[in-house]
Amino acid sequence: MMGKNKIKRRDILKGIVSLPFLGALGWAAGRDYKIYNDSKKEKIDFLNKLDIDITLPEELQGTGPEKLSLGIVGIGIRGTQLLQALGFMHPDEMKDWEQNQPQRLQAFLEQEDMNVRITGVCDLFKHRTDLAVESTSRNGHQPKVFNTYKELCESPEIDAVVIATTDLWHVPIALAALKSGKHVYIEKPLTHKLSEVYKLRQAVQESGKVLQLGHHQRQNQSFVTAQDIVNKGVLGHINLVETSTNRNDDNGAWQYNMYEEFPDEMIDWDQYINGYYDIPFNREYFFRWRKYWKFGSGLTGDLLSHAYDSINCILNMGIPKYMVASGGIYTHRDGRVVPDVLQATMEFPDYIRKFSQEKGKEKGMTLLYTASLGNQFNRNTKFMGHDGTMELGGDIYIYPDAQSTQYKEYLENNSIQPEEPIFYFDPSSQSQIDIVTSATTKYFADKGLLMDFRNGRAVDVTHMHIKEWINSIRTGRKPSCSIDEGFEEAITCIMATLATKTGRRVEWDHENEEMAIEGMRNPDFDELLVI
Amino acid sequence: MQITPNRLTWLSILRMMIGWHFLYEGIVKIFSDNWTAYGYLITSEGFLSSFFNSLATNEGVLGFVSFLNQWGLVLIGLGLFLGVFTRISCYAGALLLLFYYLCHPPFIGIDYTFGVEGNYLFIDKNLIELITLIVLSLFPTGKHLGLDRLIFGPIKSL
């Protein structure tokens, strides 16, 4: 008996030999967790102090009880995209997306039906109106093809007009539409000439109709969040902002398809130049118009406009007081006259927001825009403030500044580090959607110009932007890129074009709303813009 | 050669150390907020990467896999650490490690940017731990130092 007992005791000891170590593990893990938790709590407390709002913006409804009839003028690359944003895609395109971009097609199919129909289409290239009719015919309804924008604008069967033509024609069409009491969605840049900016603003104000300018990046969640960050003074006094465009492919350099397989007769050239120029038929001017000042505005109108409006959407700083710009043609020596590398410096000496320093150090800001069509390195936009720097791409990073006044205490006790982000936000996280296909598409996506995410679902931002316009027409609510924001965009783009072309500093007189070019007395602005 | 108590003691210590490793990995994952296997699975490389990616992208499956991994680690860890159901714990641990190995295999030409602290070719720490567990499964260490001694009785021949 004794012997059996002895063995049993030893068995128990040997059986449970590791239990004390289990206790040790429990104790050590507990301590480790506490340290981790405390430092996490410190970070959460700090984030709570920053109080950055990352809630989704209100999702507007596009639909309404009454069917809205739309007309579209200009159905090229952008016009086609706008039709898609409205819910109309060509069957061939749909097949192509099914093969090559199934996730984008999915996003398209999930778009809200806004109860709109296309009743009028107008384009100077017949092939495009043919395609548009095929895309927009539904349930026995077919849009009417108009030969001139005037007839389309005057048609009683149209409530609102979408304009996606060459820059040259934006304002004449918008004016005709407003005159006939139609609402207007207009692509950027708002205008081609300076005189048009004033004219269009007046016409919109007098008509009481809704104008939305096509800066769809305003719909991005990250932009809304960035706005909140700036307004809450997280970055302190912002004194320098750097933004950019980099693209390095033919499409990004406006070398668009010229449809050589279609005869010249299918293009209404006379109407294209009517009232402006006397130039013989030229396919380059018709299809690749962005490369020529006569019809487009190059980098300034096509891409600086987006970059500027993005910053204006976040900082709401308005028109710069001074603009200096320069550029050249360094890659695409194909006969174009607009630069393919450009930089523009915009001065806002009176810019002032929430700040943390003593008075006297809180005013003035420079916005630097640089662009290359010969390199596609992705550069995030940087907002540099006294207390921190915000990097904005598809996502948002905020880094505290080592010399910050507002975060001094936190920096001193090492609860935050200048090299480490104090805030990171990625609206697309959790939604593993790969919608980026080509280099230029990648550029668009990084600048918030392609897709955004709502509840983990990819949504085309153009769809949201045009939906906001439709919503404004139905409810009377002011759209986010109205004529007021458009006025600022147009003036700024024109200043940049003039500064680039003349090599002189361009000044804006805010009080009198007048432009001046350094060293030039009474310049003919409109003439300078198109030559 | 004989299985001596001394040799079994050292093998038991080895088993407990692997148990400690599993257990702590499991505890950390359970206690971190919102831990999922997503990052690990989505960065998978090699010939089975599409399988591991598909586990990550399906939300329901991902939740299940994450749960299984967290509690699998804890249970296997306890089994090895306490020496209870030792052989089955060794097999289960080896199987889990096989998944880890295949999810991020150190094969020729595969470059890992994240989560790798050394340089490996074919043999990595997962594989070494896996083989160690196979070796341990061949010895009745739980019946020597472990709860198996109380459940199944001590090894008679020693």
Residue B4 lies in a domain: no
Give the closest residue to A17 by CA, choosing from B140, B13, B11.
Answer: B13
When mean pLDDT is compared across A21-35, A214-228, B77-91, B103-117, the lowest value belongs to: B103-117
Average pLDDT over residues A137-147: 94
**Which segments of A303-389 does DSSP mark as H helices, in order?**
305-315
| Better pLDDT: B108 or B87 | B87
Give the closest residue to A392 by CA, choosing from A222, A179, A184.
Answer: A222
Question: CB-based contact (8 Å) between A38 and chain B?
Answer: no
Phi-psi region at A37: left, alpha or beta (left = phi > 0; alpha = psi -120 to 50): alpha
Residue B115's pLDDT is what? Answer: 56
Structure tokens at A47: 């984030």
Chain A to chain B, count of Cβ pairs less than 8 Å apart?
46
Say which amino acid occupies B92: A
Query: Which residue has 């430092």 as its token pair?
Result: A39
Question: CB-based contact (8 Å) between A432 and chain B?
Answer: yes
Residue B157 lies in a domain: no
Q: How far apart are CA A429 and CA A52, in angstroms?
A: 17
Say which amino acid occupies B82: L
Residue B8 lies in a domain: no
Contacts B57 to A, Cβ<8 Å: 432
Of chain B residues 71-100, which have a CB less than 8 A from chain A?
81-83
Query: Which residue has 């999810």 as its token pair?
Result: B103
Residue A444's pLDDT is what? Answer: 64
Residue B120 lies in a domain: yes
Question: Could you say which DSSP state residue A341 is in?
Answer: E
Of A12, A18, A29, the CB nearest to B24: A29
Of B42, B57, B81, the CB nearest to A18: B81
**A13, A18, A434: best to mutate for the B interface, most B CBs within 10 A:** A18
Q: Is A425 helix (H, G, I), strand (E, B) or coil?
A: strand
The pLDDT tens digits of the residues spanning A65-118 come to 999 999 999 999 999 999 999 999 999 999 999 999 888 899 999 999 999 999
Contacts B83 to A, Cβ<8 Å: 15, 18
pTM of this structure: 0.82
- The number of helix segments (H) and strand segments (E) in chain B equals 8, 0
Q: How far apart are CA A32 and CA B101, in angstroms?
A: 28
Of B16, B20, B147, the CB nearest to A15: B147
**B8, B13, B27, B158: best to mutate for the A interface, most A CBs within 10 A:** B27
Q: Is B79 helix (H, G, I), strand (E, B) or coil?
A: helix
Question: CB-based contact (8 Å) between B42 and chain A?
Answer: yes
Structure tokens at B81: 């650490």
Q: How far apart are CA A235 and CA A422, in angstroms?
A: 11
Q: How confident is the model at residue A446 (pLDDT cuts 50, 70, 90)?
A: low
The pLDDT tens digits of the residues spanning A314-359 come to 999 999 999 999 999 999 999 999 999 999 999 999 999 888 888 8
Residue B13 lies in a domain: no
Question: CB-based contact (8 Å) between A18 and chain B?
Answer: yes
Percentage of chain A surpassing pLDDT 90? Answer: 74
Q: Which residue range forms the structural domain that includes residue B148?
A: 30-152
Q: How far apart are CA B123 and CA B106, in angstroms?
A: 7
Residue B2 lies in a domain: no
Residue B158 lies in a domain: no
CA distance, residue B28 to nearest chain A CA (Å)? 8
CA distances from B89 to B11, B73, B93, B133 (A): 15, 10, 6, 9
Residue B48 lies in a domain: yes
Residue A440's pLDDT is what? Answer: 60
Three-state SS sequence of A234-284: CCCCEEEEEEEEECCCCCCCCCCCCCCCCCHHHECHHHHHCCCCCCCCCHH
The answer to whether the CB of B20 falls within 8 A of the CB of A23 is no
Domain count of chain B? 1
Question: CB-based contact (8 Å) between A377 and chain B?
Answer: no
Question: Could you say which DSSP state residue A188 is in?
Answer: S
Residue A433's pLDDT is what? Answer: 37
The answer to whether the CB of A155 falls within 8 A of the CB of A146 is yes
